[in-house]
Amino acid sequence: MVGMNAKTAADSFLQLVGSDTNRKRGVKVTFLDDGDEADVDLYVTMVYGVSLAVVAKNTIDNVRYRVEEMTGIKVNSVNIHVESINA
């Protein structure tokens, strides 16, 4: 994985004009029910030639484990959105 991407066109625009959105760039968390469960969406750029399936699986497992360990919030899903591939 090369990096995280802005999750909306508005975020992309704000990045261009210098807003402080870098800390949230590329990650969207949706809390479910009473806040004890969440879905995580990651917007990423990958490197050409790597196994997307392997990188995605490792990332999903790592994000789920770390979020649940650090917060106690159950992660229902981690979705990887590959927005571009760099050579």
| 54-76 pLDDT tens trace | 999 999 999 999 999 999 999 99
Domain, as residue range, for 80: 3-86
The sign of the dihedral angle between the CA atoms of 26, 9, 48, 79 is: positive
Q: How much is the pLDDT for 6? A: 55
Pairing of the two strands 74-86 and 37-47: parallel
Share of the chain above pLDDT 70, in %: 71
Residue 62's nearest CA partner among 35, 85, 42 is 42
pTM: 0.70
Burial class (CB in 10 A: 0-12, 13-18, 19+), 30: exposed
Non-local CB neighbours of 19 within 8 Å, separated by 6+ positions: none
The CATH number linked to 15 is 3.30.300
Model confidence at 5, in pLDDT bands (50, 70, 90)? low
Task: Please count the structural domains in the chain.
Answer: 1
